Amino acid sequence: MKHLTLSTVLTTSDYLPVVSQSKPPPHTYLDNRVTKSQTKHRRTRTRSQRARERLQTKEHLARLAVGINEGELADRINRCHSRLSVLTCGRHIARIIPNFTCEFRLCPDCGRRRSRKLQSKYLPMMRAFMLHHRVTPVHLVLTQTHRAETRKQSIKRIGDSFGKLQRRVFWKEHFKGGTWSLEFTKDKNGLHHTHLHIIGFRRRFFDIELLRGEWLAATGDSHVLNLKPIQDIATGLQEVVKYVSKPPDIRRFGAEDLREFLGLKNMRMFGTFGEFRGFCKGFDAADNEGAAMSELESLARDLVEGCACPQCDEPLFDLRMSGRELPQFYEQAESSPPGKARQVQH
């Protein structure tokens, strides 16, 4: 007998046929709806729309910073990616080199770069770990109840609960470590909604209801989680690091949110746990070339003006533009017919 609840998007092979008397919790659809809507949102937007949104987010952040007397931060955000050197064939962009990067944690441009760095660092280690230990990756989302508390308290609470979960026998028997990343939003009542996105390396299958029980034991009041198998580890990793690079509700951030965020110095948004943590420390990329495959990354680094575009073979040229012109450039590229390179005048 199989218990499928609304919140589980598992394939049936992910289940052990365990007879369970527990009823599906009444509101487990919540977390699934959240993760699904974000994925959909991301996929339906074009590059130009995303570039425009990044600009708007930065303008918004800079305004907020001015409002709370953080003029220097505002200035850094305004200067970040304000002048670009774009290596392009006219239709595709092979590489963008910015004049300046602000490195502010909430900056969407710097977040994208940080997320790419995390991917190229961890993907080879994940592949090697999976090969070595014969474990399979799953994407686990852990959520907690909403309370009237600060962001800092909310983050600490979910971190503590996850710590408790990891010390439980069930967890140790079924997971061999992985990575975690933090996602924080607010609900419509202004309460913090903090999630942990985990790539867990699973040793063996288990009944999802058992894991819910374990999470309830760790949190004391929340059994709400979502678990889905990861088919392709590169895509799975990309999925979880996006929360590191871009908190989804940033444009609803108010001055107080920014002030509170600036108070969270050294807050970690991504980390490793369990045996994967030790594995990463001892990992030598040079000895694991088979696993270290970030082909597109290394390809893009070697490209210079005159090289063939990796996507269409047309010659690449260097285009200088301001950061504000990038969305329009993407728009022109999106509307030019496939297979035909188009020169952009500046």
Instruction: Tell me the backbone φ, ψ of residue 110, rounded to 5 degrees.
Output: -70, -30
- Binding Zn ion (rule: CB under 5 A), the pick from 311, 322, 332, 343 is 311
Question: What residues between 164 and 193 interact with Zn ion by CB under 5 A?
Answer: none
Of 59-67, 105-113, 117-125, 299-307, the window that binds Zn ion (rule: CB under 5 A) is 105-113
Q: How many CB atoms lie within 10 A of CB 261?
A: 20
Print the SS3 string covering the chain: CCCCCCCCCCCHHHCCCCCCCCCCCCCCHHHHHHHHHHHHHHHHCCHHHHHHHHHHHHHHHHHHHHHCCCHHHHHHHHHCCCEEEEEECCCCEEEEEECCCCCCCCCHHHHHHHHHHHHHHHHHHHHHHHHHHCCEEEEEEEECCCCCCCHHHHHHHHHHHHHHHHCCHHHHHHEEEEEEEEEEEECCCCCEEEEEEEEEEECCCCCHHHHHHHHHHHHCCCCCEEEEECCCHHHHHHHHHHHHHCCCCHHHCCHHHHHHHHHCCCCCCEEEEHHHHHHHHHCCHHHHCCCCCCHHHHHHHHCCCCCECCCCCCECEEEEEEHHHHHHHHHHHHHCCCCCCCCCCC
- By CB under 5 A, name the one of 64, 84, 93, 107 that touches Zn ion: 107
Nearer Cβ to Zn ion (80/227) = 80
In the shown chain, the binding pattern of residues 220 to 259 toward Zn ion, with x for contact by CB under 5 A and - for none, equals: ----------------------------------------
Of 109, 207, 214, 257, the one binding Zn ion (CB under 5 A) is 109
Residue 327: CB minimum distance to Zn ion, A? 16
Size of the site for Zn ion (CB under 5 A): 11
Toward Zn ion, which CB reaches closer, 22 or 311? 311
| Segment 58 to 97, residues that bind Zn ion, using CB under 5 A | 80, 89, 91-92
Q: Is residue 110 a contact residue for Zn ion (CB under 5 A)?
A: yes
Query: Minimum distance between the CB of residue 60 and Zn ion, rounded to whole angstroms?
Result: 13
Nearer to Zn ion, 201 or 261 (CB): 261
Nearest to Zn ion of 89, 142 (CB atom): 89
The residue (of 108 and 236) whose beta carbon lies closer to Zn ion is 108
| Stretch in the footprint of Zn ion (CB under 5 A) among 143-151, 205-213, 264-272, 306-314 | 306-314
Q: Name every residue whose Cβ is closer than 8 Å to that of residue 302 and which is 6 or more positions away in sequence.
A: none
Of the residues 65, 102, 211, 237, which one makes contact with Zn ion according to CB under 5 A = 102
- Pick the closer one to Zn ion by CB: 105 or 133: 105
- From the CB of 309, what's the least distance to Zn ion, in Å? 3
Q: Which residues, 6+ apart, have CB-to-CB distance to 188 below 8 Å?
A: none
Q: What angle do CA 105, 179, 31 make, to 5 degrees?
A: 80
The smaller minimum CB distance to Zn ion, of residues 82 and 294, is found at 82
- Minimum CB distance to Zn ion, residue 256 (Å): 22
For residues 77 and 240, which CB has a smaller minimum distance to Zn ion in the complex? Answer: 77
* Positions in 264-283 near Zn ion (CB under 5 A): none
Structure tokens at 182: 């933090």
Residues 188-217 close enough to bind Zn ion by CB under 5 A: none
Find the binder of Zn ion among 10, 68, 210, 312 (CB under 5 A): 312
State the residues that interact with Zn ion by CB under 5 A.
80, 89, 91-92, 102, 107, 109-110, 309, 311-312
